[in-house]
A and B are shown apart, each in its own frame.
Chain A
């Protein structure tokens, strides 16, 4: 794996713990000693959050249908952490998009894990806004937990996919109480809805774009009104994400 992944492995609690089992356990405990630790941490998610990995299947389906671009296709080392930085920025923009889409910000803190790198991010509701902490150690007790993938968040952050549609398509799964889930969906379902000038998915081919247009006509999930707004850097991210996990630290 490239530097991005290695970087995440080194600091992820789950990853670290999972790594130990491969190194230190007796041979019979885990008979098949292949696989990286991130894979194992990801696998455990399917038990801890039942069927969490169904998100991966939903992403695969969406990519096959050309609804989503394939996520990182590059296994070269991420020597300068640029892939990580891009993802962290997307996570910050995702938080912003949520905040901007809500008519009234619910007092709802939640954590989200991106399955591919097993990267946790915590979004804390405070003062009517969401504070983003990329690279959290995991969810806090009682948090609503979101499970998703890189491409999904990238598309929402870019204004090409609505959060509500992502949930309906299984691209984001929610784990928590029914009231937490209802509050999240109610407040944020329109986040990421296409904005003028951002509807053309640059990462997709022309054919893919046509597929998306055809699909939107057939399944008008994005029924929420859209307000154009500029993309800007999240101050919360700057405070908690970049300082904590910027390339200079790894």
Chain B
């Protein structure tokens, strides 16, 4: 009797969520007739985990890492290639390009080596004396110069040839050439060699690097597939005549790949904070007015957005979100990528994630599809083969920024014409992508990315859950297995809620666990954006769970958690904050007729920033204004509501 009752109740709950079904079909947490019947047939087991069919752990990795195969990385001294990068990511100790031994605190679960597609592999090939290079007289000459002790002269000749556009055509590493084919094959071979299903995933990928006028519109392209399919094509480039700087052309290439091979690719837009207002257009792009085709195509291919990386964080900007006291986080808002054009405030709206998510609602209303319905991830964009994004173990963005007593003092961007100057200390030790997948394989991780069941972290590996539904209630937050309830009564991050059942409002089950070797948590917030009946977008940040017994102030905000950081010694204590946060939250201002999105933001207590570790370890005094503490965080992919 008891068994029947338990069984029946369980199925009823499952069915209820499926029938009530505002939760969209996802391949996690979805109940269909077949599964329901199967569940009925199975006797209940002692183990509460029997039959569980949803992701039980996030996999942490980096979707954006450059090696010596990238032209710029090589030019700045990176000697680590894709194999070194995979080796390091899976937990091995390696020697950095500056000769320093380095190892991650814990292995990553996956890595995408995403070298720039233009001129991929040139530097390693030249200095290795590859036949493709030596077949060209100039290549031969440069190589011989290096071998005969005239390396410095060879370096000058190479750089001048590039800059004066006299680089031998046959030496250009462009698609269709044997040299490029060889470099792409080497990239694929490295991924194949290190891909270890179930233990470590090495994705095949590359970065398409549209950078016209210094405006960063890069995209990372990630293959779901193995070498058999990926090797049927060569990466899309920017440099003419083979490539284009227009993302629309990249999407065509992606479609062509899938059509040709039957495989799958997705693109992740680079943090848009250096695009000077071009990453998220709302009127036109590349001289063409946005239309239905544009929004549908973008939504199809660009499933994720890189909201934090070494070149700053692009979730929100204090100018756009003046009421968000946590918006001013690792902001880079001085100009575009090369500092050739200073930033204007009116650009900001079109390059930050939150404003794009809001404007996406507008475009959905106008054109029928939301082109900016993306999930969130973080990644490194490091250019030294090292996905080392831990504050106490930060190996920089490029080789010149590997640990040294000088790295806090030098300029990263210094354009004397425009006055745009970004110091090396402003480079962030950020971030990683967290992916809720069932298993650590290319297919499973890629599918989770495709369905946006991901979140970004600025480095720490906190575990974050975010479920939306109509029936979460306070007692659901008392369960020690919130995911069981989350998947059965709602949708996970990246999902959709539609057509609010009569009288119901969205409820959210949120949970976060601190990084096991990291800092305690300050608070879990939900960021809501919505489109009102007049076509205006709005946003609001809600504190939904927080540490201690703090009470909201008169402004409704939870007071700061405090700060235990000893900057001089680069230490802190977990005497404030909580190791876990869990709550159920109900939208108090829901209008069922309005498009909306919700995403979670989890904030750690303050900890020493990498600059504090450098100051302590090297005994150097930072420049005035150098940020020495950081409140690390995670951003979940949104859950969207559509009337």
Shortest CB distance B613–A (Å): 11
- The answer on a CB contact under 8 Å between B155 and A57 is no
B-chain residues with CB within 8 Å of residue A24 when the two chains form the complex: 163-165
Q: Verify if A1 is at the interface (C-beta below 8 Å from B).
A: yes
Tell me the bound Cα distance from A70 to B155 in angstroms: 29
- The answer on a CB contact under 8 Å between A33 and B405 is no
Which of A46, A50, A63, A141 gathers the greatest number of chain B CB atoms within 10 Å? A46
A26, A33, A47, A145: the one within 8 Å of B123 (CB): A47
Shortest CB distance B349–A (Å): 24
- The answer on a CB contact under 8 Å between B127 and A47 is yes
A-chain residues with CB within 8 Å of residue B100 when the two chains form the complex: 57, 60-61
- The answer on a CB contact under 8 Å between B162 and A34 is no
**15 new A-B contacts at CB < 8 Å, known A33-B211, A176-B149:** A18-B75, A21-B162, A24-B163, A27-B211, A28-B119, A32-B116, A39-B400, A41-B155, A44-B77, A47-B123, A55-B99, A57-B96, A70-B405, A75-B411, A139-B149
Q: Verify if A30 is at the interface (C-beta below 8 Å from B).
A: yes
A-chain residues with CB within 8 Å of residue B75 when the two chains form the complex: 18, 21, 30, 40, 43-44
Tell me the bound Cα distance from A22 to B71 in angstroms: 13
B-chain residues with CB within 8 Å of residue A58 when the two chains form the complex: 99
Tell me the bound Cα distance from A39 to B643 in angstroms: 54
List B residues 95-152 near A (Cβ within 8 Å).
96-100, 116, 118-119, 123, 126-127, 146, 148-152
Tell me the bound Cα distance from A44 to B402 in angstroms: 16
Tell me the bound Cα distance from A1 to B75 in angstroms: 20
Given A14-B155, A36-B414, A59-B404, are A30 and B337 also a contact pair (CB < 8 Å)?
no
Shortest CB distance B397–A (Å): 9
Stretch from B237-245, B282-290, B487-495 forming part of the interface with A: B237-245
Q: Supply 15 A–B pairs (Cβ within 8 Å), ascending by A.
A: A14-B155, A17-B159, A18-B159, A28-B119, A28-B239, A33-B337, A35-B412, A39-B76, A39-B400, A42-B76, A47-B126, A57-B96, A70-B619, A139-B152, A176-B149
Q: Verify if B258 is at the interface (C-beta below 8 Å from A).
A: no
A-chain residues with CB within 8 Å of residue B218 when the two chains form the complex: 31
Q: Which residue of B lies closest to A16 (CB)?
A: B156
Tell me the bound Cα distance from A47 to B158 in angstroms: 12
A-chain residues with CB within 8 Å of residue B126 when the two chains form the complex: 47
Tell me the bound Cα distance from A44 to B150 in angstroms: 13
List B residues 62-76 near A (Cβ within 8 Å).
70-72, 74-76
Q: Verify if A225 is at the interface (C-beta below 8 Å from B).
A: no
Tell me the bound Cα distance from A39 to B621 in angstroms: 22
Q: Verify if B618 is at the interface (C-beta below 8 Å from A).
A: yes
- Interface size range on B against A: 35 or more
Q: Which residue of A lies closest to B412 (CB)?
A: A34
B-chain residues with CB within 8 Å of residue A34 when the two chains form the complex: 337-339, 412-413, 422
A-chain residues with CB within 8 Å of residue B154 when the two chains form the complex: 48
Given A28-B238, A53-B99, are A20 and B149 also a contact pair (CB < 8 Å)?
no
Q: Verify if B410 is at the interface (C-beta below 8 Å from A).
A: yes
- The answer on a CB contact under 8 Å between B238 and A60 is no
Tell me the bound Cα distance from A13 to B155 in angstroms: 10
B-chain residues with CB within 8 Å of residue A116 when the two chains form the complex: 406
Residues 392-412 of B, flagged 1 when their CB comes within 8 A of A and 0 if not, give: 000000111011111001111
- The answer on a CB contact under 8 Å between B155 and A56 is no
List B residues 20-64 near A (Cβ within 8 Å).
none
Shortest CB distance B353–A (Å): 21
B-chain residues with CB within 8 Å of residue A44 when the two chains form the complex: 75, 77, 155, 158-159
A-chain residues with CB within 8 Å of residue B617 when the two chains form the complex: 64
Q: Verify if A218 is at the interface (C-beta below 8 Å from B).
A: no
Tell me the bound Cα distance from A225 to B19 in angstroms: 89
B-chain residues with CB within 8 Å of residue A13 when the two chains form the complex: 156
Q: Verify if B79 is at the interface (C-beta below 8 Å from A).
A: yes
B96, B116, B148: the one within 8 Å of A141 (CB): B148
